[in-house]
Amino acid sequence: MTPIDGATIHPHASVSGPSGRDVEAIKARQQAAWAAGDYGQIGVRLQIVGESICEAVDLHSTDRVLDVAAGNGNASLAAARRFADVTSTDNVPALLEAGRRRAEGEQLPVTFRVADAEALPFADASFDVALSTFGVMFAANQERAAGELLRVVRPGGRIGMTNWIPDGFVGQFFDLVTRFAPPPAAVRSPLEWGTETRLVELFGPNATDIRTARRTYMFRFRSAEHWIAFFREHFGPTVKAFAGLDEARQRELHDALLTLAGRWNRAGNRSLVIPGDYLEVVLAR
């Protein structure tokens, strides 16, 4: 992993995020987007990332672990498999219920609790480790979400995250979709969490060490059309984007996604195999 010196890179950076009624409206819109479709169908295919982040933070069986914006529980289940004491949180109850069913199926003890990443209902220093796989990066107020992660982890604890990067396939996918369905103007791009500069702005003054590594998750589908259909049915932001367009614009978005997939596909005509690069982050509190 690459270490970042949080004391020397943008130590006093400060960028204000949305606040008040604007933030509540944005969060309600985001919650509706993630509740659309069935993100669990996407999430279960990212399980390997949950396993990897638990190894990256050197998880111990004696750790108290909080999974923030957990979705259907990839990191939660991975931590529970390592005998940690796990609390899984998300602001979409249906996703937590999906995680609960997975945990019950594997007989893994996990506590599930509805919670907002920007206002975690836990006391200061309640956990040894906080995790988030492609979750907290989508918080409406980035500074507040980062502050909550730092607050609930004890001094000497660790924060482990995986965040999509701006210049990877997923970054280009989000850029494309937002051209058809623009996000609220007050929200900073979640892809900033996939940059070292932004991580130091958010965590540097309160982290004794920040280490990053660029990792790759391989998207594997039968074809580009299969990928588009799957995301159009199950991935909330894509569901919402298509639903907000007339038929002609839907076709434009579909064709643009087809072109994007073709540009990144490594499998030729055989199937669809696309590298999705992300930033693995481990912070020492």
Asked whether the beta carbons of 43 and 72 are under 8 A apart, the reply is yes
Say which residue, 23 or 225, is predicted with more confidence: 225
Domain boundaries, the chain: 2-169+182-218+275-284
| Confidence band of 23 (pLDDT split at 50, 70, 90) | low
For residue 268, is it left (φ>0), alpha (ψ between -120 and 50) or beta?
left
In this predicted structure, the answer to whether residue 30 has a pLDDT above a threshold of 90 is no
Mean pLDDT for 199-219 is 96
Mean pLDDT for 74-97 is 97
| Confidence band of 29 (pLDDT split at 50, 70, 90) | low
Mean pLDDT for 226-234 is 97
In this predicted structure, the answer to whether residue 60 has a pLDDT above a threshold of 80 is yes
Sheet with 153-164, strands from edge to edge, namely 2-4, 209-221, 272-284, 153-164, 127-133, 64-67, 85-90, 110-114
Question: If you search the block for the tokens 């199926």, which residue do you land on?
Answer: 105
Lowest mean pLDDT among 31-35, 75-79, 152-156, 179-183: 31-35
The domain 2-169+182-218+275-284 is placed in CATH, from the list 3.40.50.620, 3.30.470.10, 3.40.50.1820, 3.40.50.150, at 3.40.50.150
